[in-house]
Amino acid sequence: MTTPPRKLRSSAWFDNPDNIDMTALYLERYLNFGLSLEELQSGRPIIGIAQTGSDLSPCNRHHLVLAERVREGIREAGGIVLEFPVHPIQETGKRPTAGLDRNLAYLGLVEVLYGYPLDAVVLTIGCDKTTPAALMAAATVNIPAIALSVGPMLNGWHKGERTGSGTIVWKARQLLAAGEIDDAEFIRLVASSAPSTGYCNTMGTATTMNSLCEALGMSLPASAAIPAPYRDRQECAYRTGKRIVEMVAEDLKPSDILTKHAFHNAIRVNSAIGGSTNAPIHLSAIARHIGVDLPLKDWETEGHKVPLLVNLQPAGEYLGEDYYRAGGVPAVVNQLMGQGLIHEDALTVNGKTMGDNCRGVAIEDEKVIHPFDKPLVVDAGFIVLSGNLFDAAVMKTSVIGLEFRERYLSNPDDLDAFEGPAVVFDGPEDYHHRIDDPATGITAETLLFMRGAGPIGYPGAAEVVNMRPPAYLITEGIHALPCIGDGRQSGTSGSPSILNASPEAAAMGGLALLKTGDRVRIDLNKGTADVLISDAELAQRRADLIAAGGYRYPASQTPWQEIQRAVVGQMNTGAILEGAEKYQRIAQT
């Protein structure tokens, strides 16, 4: 057992001679399920397990099993366990969008971590928004915290080919739209990608955020990529439980780990793994809650020149099990370290630095993780665009495919400018109604716009910007049109979209003024996106729209939608609850 260096936070509840009335009251109810006075007044740290698994969140459900090994680790190291539920966030199951629930789970977790007798917490992470919600709350409260990933599903297979969760859906939808498969085959194909417990086995937002959590130093080294059903995952759960007890003794808190260096490491790792465009939103949010200045532009200045090394779908061909066998995050970090691209001094939850954890970790399979000098794509990070349509939006350049490069870029090896007429959709329902209707007027030259899909317009921001072309173009061999919008895009989609445009139309950003038929010019070298009409015309359109009552979006359906809409910020600054930022490190003693 480790001896804590100072009075534990939980002693204010359970062992406070100055307030014996309340101490008795707190004690009696926590004793009622069999804990003993001997334990609660032993000076042993009380460790929360923030349980994100449930039947409603299947991606994280395996945490219900893993928590048993976490408990054993905590107990063995001398801690007492109090496990509690976190508001579920299921990426694919929550209507209208799981994006709405990240800030809600954050709020709930902050209240629990702050308001209950916890000295530290194990954050069980996995499905897309569970990871940022947990890290955001740990940043705000700032008690010792360690994250445990649930791990990806096993690889999906269909007719001898790997089928990746999420990614296969985009492909299957195209096959269905083109009449190449029927409804039953569509469902079989999609279901084949999810053969076991765990989160998406592609480099979607889940694998991205779990990898970045490790790159930030908030989970044990080499832990992010372990597939959920592997025995190594159980062992990792046990080690995580043991380690959090030591962290209390060391008073190692999120603020010691989540430094600017840690965030810049994560941005570079994101480029090398081909991470999701949701990552800038979530890292901005975590940074703001811990008080680190991380402008969106850092994604381009720190991350764009980093090559893509990890060959996972959607940018590449492999899946989660392959990523783990090839060496996972430490093998990637070691490649970047060799080029001086990692701040090796960044501290991690195991008490060692990122450099010490990853130095010399070899790649075990160079088809899956490429060495730095043989990248899949050079300059694979995001670029940040701005113009009269929005102040900021991101584009994942590593997924710009050959078809797209040949059609839009005069030199397929270089990113340059293209322009075309806009077709504008107001929200995903409008898109679904009109996409295949020839009257919508979409041609091979069209740029597709999605608006009304941001944090306010479609509360939480919908993952809908990656729009497929109409069926009549797909049958002609056109599989992608440029997509631009104020919503998000699933990390499992390989579309070369311009996303997260801020401010959104619902906040009267420039997208609100765009009309179908306007010509729009995108210059990827200059980082600009502009509608080619005069400032005077734009000003007139703005005045007209304001006079008409502003950009219209659907009414809220629940109380939380209304509350979130009133206080949420834009995606370029993390889409956090704007009033929450000032509450930093609230449990720090």
Give the residues lining the site for ligand FES (CB under 6 A): 59, 91-92, 127-128, 165-166, 199-200, 204, 206
Specify the 3-state DSSP secondary structure of 237.
helix
Minimum distance, C-beta of residue 550 to Mg ion, in the bound complex (Å)? 29
Nearer to Mg ion, 54 or 92 (CB): 92
Smallest gap from residue 588 Cβ to Mg ion (A):
33
414-442 b/e with 16+ CB inside 10 Å = b?
ebeebbbebbbbbbbeebeeebbeeebeb
Query: Toward Mg ion, which CB reaches closer, 59 or 308?
Result: 59
* Partner that binds at residue 368, options Mg ion, ligand FES, none, CB closer than 5 to 8 Å by kind: none
Among ligand FES, Mg ion, none, residue 332 binds (CB under 5-8 Å by kind): none
Nearer to ligand FES, 493 or 572 (CB): 493
Nearest residue to 330 (alpha-carbon basis) of 215, 216, 236: 215
- Per DSSP, what are the bridge partners of residue 392? 502
The nearest distance, CB 452 to Mg ion, in angstroms, is 19
Shortest distance in whole angstroms from residue 394 CB to Mg ion: 15
Give which of ligand FES, Mg ion, none residue 220 binds (C-beta under 5 to 8 Å, depending on kind).
none
Q: Which of 41, 46, 52, 117 is nearest to 77 (CA)?
A: 46
Task: State which of positions 108-137 bind Mg ion (CB under 5 A).
Answer: 128
The smaller minimum CB distance to ligand FES, of residues 278 and 570, is found at 278
Contacting residues for 492 by C-beta, under 8 A, at least 6 apart: 164, 165, 166, 167, 169, 170, 200, 202, 204, 205, 313, 314
Nearest residue (CB) to ligand FES, 204 versus 482: 204
Please, are residues 161 and 264 in contact by the beta-carbon 8 Å criterion? Answer: no
Residue pair 250/350 in contact (Cβ under 8 Å)? The answer is: no
**Minimal distance, residue 205 CB to Mg ion, in Å:** 4
Question: What three-state secondary structure class fits 293?
Answer: coil
Considering only residues 67 to 96 of the shown chain, the ones binding Mg ion according to CB under 5 A are 91
Distance CA 169, CA 435 (A): 18
Residues 6 or more apart whose CB falls under 8 angstroms from that of 319 comprise 152, 155, 156, 162, 164, 201, 202, 312, 313
Decide: helix, strand or coil at residue 110: helix
Is 490 one of the binding residues for Mg ion (CB under 5 A)? yes
Residues in region 168-207 near Mg ion by CB under 5 A:
205
Using omega within 30 degrees of 0 as the cis cutoff, is the peptide bond preceding 314 cis? yes
Which residue's CB is nearer to ligand FES, number 122 or number 127?
127
Binder of residue 54, out of Mg ion, ligand FES, none (CB less than 5 to 8 A by kind): none
Q: Work out what residue 206 binds among ligand FES, Mg ion, none; the CB cut-off runs from 5 to 8 Å by kind.
A: ligand FES
**Which of 523, 588, 585, 514 has the alpha carbon at shortest distance from 551?**
514
Least distance to ligand FES, CB of residue 202, Å: 8
Residues in 562-581 that interact with Mg ion by CB under 5 A: none
Closer residue to ligand FES (CB): 128 or 246: 128
Structure tokens at 199: 């989160």
Binding site for Mg ion (CB under 5 A): 91, 128, 205, 490
